[in-house]
């Protein structure tokens, strides 16, 4: 019932998140990305927790780029930073 946080989990800080509904939208869109197992955006702590499927088959940098694109599209003022 619980997945352990593995090496494929990356955490990012999202600064200037504007609204809770937008965070929910981001979370949904990012979860749908290829190579992403699960994404979770916490509006309050401004953290994006990204669980990726396998680094061998998917390029982390490419996923990050796609994620950033989604975020910028929903809320252009948000800055994504690695933790």
Partner 1 sequence: MNKRLIQIILAALIYIPTFFIKPETPLQILLFVISYLIVGGTILIKAIRNIKTGNFLDENFLMSIATLGAFYIKAYPEAIAVMLFYQIGEYFQDYAVDKSKKSITSLMELKADHANLKTENGIKITDPQNIDIGSYIIIKPGERIPLDGIITEGSSYIDTSALTGETLPKEVSPGSDLLSGCINLSGLLVMKTTNTFGESTVSRILELVENASSKKSSQEKFITKFARYYTPIVVIIGLAILIIPTSIQGLSSLNTWLYRSLAFLVVSCPCALVVSIPLSFFAGIGTASKEGILIKGSNYLEALAKVETVVFDKTGTLTKGVFEVRKIVTFNNFNKNEVLEVAAYSEAHSSHPISQSLKRAYGIKIIEERIQDVNELAGLGVIAKVDNKSVTIGNIKLMDQENIDAFESGEERTIVHVGIDGIYAGYITIADELKTDSKKTVENLRELGVSKIIMLTGDSSISAKKTADELGILEYHGDLMPIDKLNKLEHIIGYQNKKGKTVFVGDGINDAPVLARADIGIAMGGIGRDAAIEAADVVIMQDEPIKLTVAIKLAKRTVAIATANIILAIGIKVIVLILSAFGFASLWMAVFADVGVTIIAVLNSLRLLRRKGI
Contact residues: partner 1, CB under 8 A: 1-2, 4, 11, 19-22, 24, 27-28, 40, 42-45, 47, 49, 73-74, 76
Sign of CA dihedral 20, 21, 24, 29: negative
Tokens encoding 46? 């401004």
CB of 78 to partner 1, least distance (A): 12
CB-based contact 83:11 (threshold 8 Å)? yes
CB of 73 to partner 1, least distance (A): 5
Which of residues 27 and 63 has its CB atom nearest to partner 1 in the complex?
27
Which of residues 40 and 66 has its CB atom nearest to partner 1 in the complex?
40
Tokens encoding 22? 């937008």
């Amino acid at each position: 019932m619980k997945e352990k946080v593995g090496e494929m989990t990356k955490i990012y800080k999202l600064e200037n998140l504007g609204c809770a509904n937008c965070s929910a939208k981001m979370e949904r869109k990012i979860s749908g990305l290829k190579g992403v197992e699960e994404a979770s955006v916490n509006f309050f702590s401004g953290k994006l927790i990204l669980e990726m499927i396998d680094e061998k088959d998917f390029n982390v940098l490419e996923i990050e780029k796609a994620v950033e694109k989604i975020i910028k599209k929903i809320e252009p003022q948000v800055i994504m930073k690695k933790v």
